[in-house]
Structure formats: C-alpha cells, structure tokens
Amino acid sequence: MNIQQNIQLQPYNSFRTKAIAKLFAQPETVDELQELLQTYANEPKFILGGGFNIFFTQDFNGLVINPAMRGIRTISENTDFVEIEAGAAEDWDNFVAYCVSHRYSGVENLSLIPGTVGAAPIQNIGAYGAEVKDVIVKVIAVEIESGKMVEFSNAECEFEYRNSIFKRTRKHIITHVVFRLSKSFEYKEKYVDLNHELKNITTPNLSQVREAIIRIRTRKLPDYNSLPNAGSFFKNPILTKEEKEKLLTLLPDAPVYNAKEDGYKTSAAYLIEKAGFKGKRKGDVGTYEHHALIIVNYGTESGQEIVNFMHDIQNSVFQQYGVSLEPEVWIF
Ligand code: EPU
C-alpha cells in the first residue's frame, strides 16, 4: 500500500479548506487496514471519508486514513427482503441508485446525499422523513487501538438524530455496512415538500420518488463543485418546554415539531433566516441564498474564516432567540 507524505487535504473536503497531512493512506481491504494500524501504531490517526461533512482549521501531524473498501453484494434474500453489504468507500448516492434500479426500497429518500456508505451510519444521515438507521442491520468496523474487527448490531450503533456511537467515540473505522431493504414499495406521505413534488402522480413508484428528491435537493442545495459547502451546517435544535415557549413568544410562527428525545425540535434554517443571515456574506464566507442552513465558501482556503462566521450566526441567534445552535459539520 502506498503511504503518501505531506498531502494537501484541500481536494478531500467539500468546503475546500487547506491543511497538510503528514501521512496519508487508502487501505482497500481489512487486512491492509489492520497492517497499517500495526505499522503506524504510534502515530495519531484521523479517519477521513468522502470529506462532505468536515473542514480543516489546522494541519494534521499524523496519519490520515481514507478507507477505500469497495463492492456491493447481496448476502441473503427471501421473497420480501434483501440484505446487502456495501464497502465503506462506495459513493452513497451510487448505492441508492443501485438499490432503486433493483427495486429495493428503504434508501430512496436519502437520494443525492453526498458522501460514502461508510460515513452514513456515523451521523445517521437523514432526509425527507427517513434515517439510515431504519435500514441498517449491522456495521462492520476495525477498532483503531487494537486493530480488531468488531461488528455492531443496529442497537449497538446507538443511533440518534445525526449521531451514533461512531461519532461519539471516534474509536472505529467502518469498513462495511449491511442493509436490509424491502422488495415491495408503497409511497407513504411523510414530508410536505416531497408530497408537493409528487402531487401529480397518483401512486408514485420508487424511481419517481428518487427523481423527485433529486429535483428538490438540486433546487434547494448548492453544488459543492461550484460553491464549496458541507450541507446543513447546524443541527436542528431540540428545545426544552421553557425554551420552546420563550421562542414562541418571540416568533409565534416558528416551526416546532415534537421530537422523540423528550423535547421540541425547531428549524435552524428558520432561526438563521429570522436573525437576518439568509444569503448574507462576510468576506469569503456566507449562507446560501436559497437555504439559510448552508454555509458556503466563496473562496477562502482557511477554515478559521468559516469558524468566525459560524460564531457570528450562533451569537446572533442566541442573543435574539435564546437558542444555541450546535454544528452538524465536524470542525477539525
Ligand atoms: N427554512 C427557512 N429558511 C430557509 C430554509 C428553510 O425558514 O432558508 C425553514 C422552512 O420552514 C422549512 C424548514 O426550515 O420548511 C425546514 O427546511 P428543510 O425542509 O430544507 O429541512 P432542514 O431542517 O433545513 C433537514 C436536514 C437536511 C435534509 C432536509 C430534508 C438537518 C440538520 N438537516 O434540513 O439534511 O436534507 O432536512 O429532509 O437535519 C444535511 O444534514 O446536511 C442535510 C442537508
């Protein structure tokens, strides 16, 4: 395996910030990964997937591991369900396209989310009323410290809204994910935007749902190739009853949904827009004109400028509405 030295990480993060990695490796098999961990046992390690939910503010004086395990294969099936194992480096949306083309349902609402299969469980990707946790059977990983292979059942992944054991502990490298998909499909109305997009179709099929989501996302979200970004920058905040009531006295129209985790979820995009930040630009950083939750990079190569802008938004939203916004993106 080729171990590269002093690699520029700018092409490896969708925000296109600059940082140098002392060492960089792309193991293609579990054996290669285990060998790498053993050889570089004393180096600090950083695991980088597709780089769509991260940006750098500093160089990394250690080994960056970019898992490169590929392959999509059926491991079992019956008349109703199929279990599919996919390598961590498979492009997420290619995997969704594969499933939809085989008429396997369960991931179609997660169409066009940038990133890799291996990154999907880490932050439990979600969109249009679906979360990846609902179709994951198990996650196969290697423990960084010991080099041992470990399998996590769905429950052991401890999935939450945009969170999991992998994100909380950062102790594992995901090599493969096993999904359970359904061979039948019936469209269920869950999300207003999607229902609206499909309003002219009486019984939407899988491909039509995927196409509708691709249209919505393409309209609302900026393309990282022309306007570097990392998708939603903040999580949608979960409020206590008191915080919710305070917010509603200030902003009676604020969207509030009952969240599972014993609180009330509101919309970060709405709060950022109300705070006056939609489409606002400061230097080379700003929020996207069509979606306030997305911070876009107009040309800075320094992650610090993004962090400064993030603080401006957080301070303003907190001062005006008493709500703390927590980044969804990983800032290194
Ligand atoms: N809104 C505004 N201003 C805006 C944009 C949105 O006020 O500029 C309000 C609207 O009321 C809208 C509501 O915010 O109805 C929700 O907006 P949207 O449907 O776009 O969803 P979101 O909550 O902003 C979440 C996910 C997205 C996912 C969409 C669609 C998080 C942090 N983000 O965004 O995921 O695509 O739902 O389901 O949960 C990502 O995680 O990177 C991501 C893009």
> What is residue 173's predicted lDDT score, i.e. its pLDDT?
98
> What is residue 179's predicted lDDT score, i.e. its pLDDT?
98
Distance CA 143, CA 291 (A): 38
State in Å: Cα 240 to ligand 1 middle.
20
Of 61-75, 145-159, 257-271, least confident by mean pLDDT is: 257-271
Question: Is 180 considered catalytic here?
Answer: no
CATH number for 4-65 (one of 1.10.10.10, 3.30.43.10, 3.40.50.12280, 1.10.260.40): it is 3.30.43.10
Give per-residue pLDDT as tens, 222-242. Answer: 999 999 999 999 999 999 989
Chain centroid, CA 87 distance in Å = 17
Which of 293, 295, 321 to probe ligand 1 with, by most ligand atoms within 8 A of CB?
Answer: 293
Distance CA 35, CA 16 (A): 30
> What is residue 189's predicted lDDT score, i.e. its pLDDT?
87
> What is residue 260's predicted lDDT score, i.e. its pLDDT?
64
Q: Which atom of ligand 1 is nearest to the CA of 221?
A: 44
State in Å: Cα 44 to ligand 1 middle.
35
> What is residue 305's predicted lDDT score, i.e. its pLDDT?
97
Give per-residue pLDDT as tens, 112-158. Answer: 999 999 999 999 999 999 999 999 999 999 999 999 999 999 999 99
Note whether 4-65 and 229-331 share their fold: no
Which of 267, 313, 328 to probe ligand 1 with, by most ligand atoms within 8 A of CB?
Answer: 267
> What is residue 190's predicted lDDT score, i.e. its pLDDT?
84
Q: Taking residues 53-58, what's their average pLDDT?
A: 97
Q: Which atom of ligand 1 is nearest to the CA of 274?
A: 7
Answer yes or no: is pLDDT of 50 > 70: yes
Q: Taking residues 56-78, what's their average pLDDT?
A: 98
Can you give the three-state secondary structure of the chain, one letter per residue?
Answer: CCCEEEEECHHHCCCCCCCEEEEEECCCCHHHHHHHHHHCCCCCEEECCCCCCEECCCCEEEEEECCCCCCEEEEEECCCEEEEEEECCCEHHHHHHHHHHCCCECCHHHCCCCCECCCCCCCCCEECCEEHHHHEEEEEEEECCCCCEEEEECHHHCCECCECHHHHHCCEEEEEEEEEEECCCCCCCCCHHHHHHCCCCCCCCHHHHHHHHHHHHHHHCCCCCCCCEEEECECCCEECHHHHHHHHHHCCCCCEEEECCCEEEECHHHHHHHCCCCCCEECCEEEECCEEEEEEECCCCCHHHHHHHHHHHHHHHHHHHCCCCCECCEEC
State in Å: Cα 287 to ligand 1 middle.
13
CB of 130 sitting under 6 A from ligand 1: no
> What is residue 183's predicted lDDT score, i.e. its pLDDT?
98
Domain 229-331, architecture per CATH: Alpha-Beta Complex (3.90)
Question: Is 162 considered catalytic here?
Answer: yes
Give CA separation, 142 vs 147, 156, 313, in Å: 6, 15, 38
Q: Mean pLDDT across the chain, nearest whole number?
A: 96
Distance CA 31, CA 37 (A): 10
Q: Parse the chain into domains and list their residue ranges.
A: 4-65, 72-219, 229-331
State in Å: Cα 190 to ligand 1 middle.
14
State in Å: Cα 14 to ligand 1 middle.
19
CB of 123 sitting under 6 A from ligand 1: no
Q: Kindly list the strands in the beta sheet with 256-259, ordered across the sheet, starting from the edge strand earlier in the chain.
A: 238-239, 263-266, 256-259
Question: Is 328 considered catalytic here?
Answer: yes
> What is residue 124's predicted lDDT score, i.e. its pLDDT?
97
CB of 128 sitting under 6 A from ligand 1: yes
Query: Predicted confidence band at 261 (pLDDT cuts at 50, 70, 90)?
Result: low
Q: Taking residues 228-257, what's their average pLDDT?
A: 95
Which of 53, 111, 232 to probe ligand 1 with, by most ligand atoms within 8 A of CB?
Answer: 232
Dig out the tokens for 214 from the structure: 């691709």
- Evaluate whether the domain defined by 72-219 bears CATH number 3.30.465.10: yes
Q: Taking residues 22-37, what's their average pLDDT?
A: 98
In percent, how much of the chain has pLDDT > 90? Answer: 96
Distance CA 289, CA 278 (A): 6
Give per-residue pLDDT as tens, 276-328. Answer: 999 999 999 999 999 999 999 999 999 999 999 999 999 999 999 999 999 99
Distance CA 274, CA 92 (A): 33
Whole-model pTM: value is 0.94
CB 7 within 8 A of CB 24: yes
